[in-house]
Amino acid sequence: MLRGVTWPRIKLRYTLERGGQAVASAEEQVSDMHYLMTANRYMTSDRLRYEKAMLDDWFDRRFVRRQ
């Protein structure tokens, strides 16, 4: 159960590959302290809706907008 003081967070380890070759790899701590203040496109019945939205945003910032 999430409350205002227990925001969603996850530790990720990833490798980005292109053509079978590692281009980048890292380990990151991803969190969203403002998860209750942002729009969420996932159904309220989805127990992981805040985590999914947080990871969508992280992926967009890390890989899509960087180019």
pLDDT for 3 equals 59
CA distance 16 to 63: 10
What pTM value is reported for the model? 0.79
pLDDT for 6 equals 80
Query: Is the pLDDT reported for residue 37 higher than 90?
Result: no
Query: Is the pLDDT reported for residue 2 higher than 60?
Result: no
CA distance 67 to 9: 25
DSSP 63: I
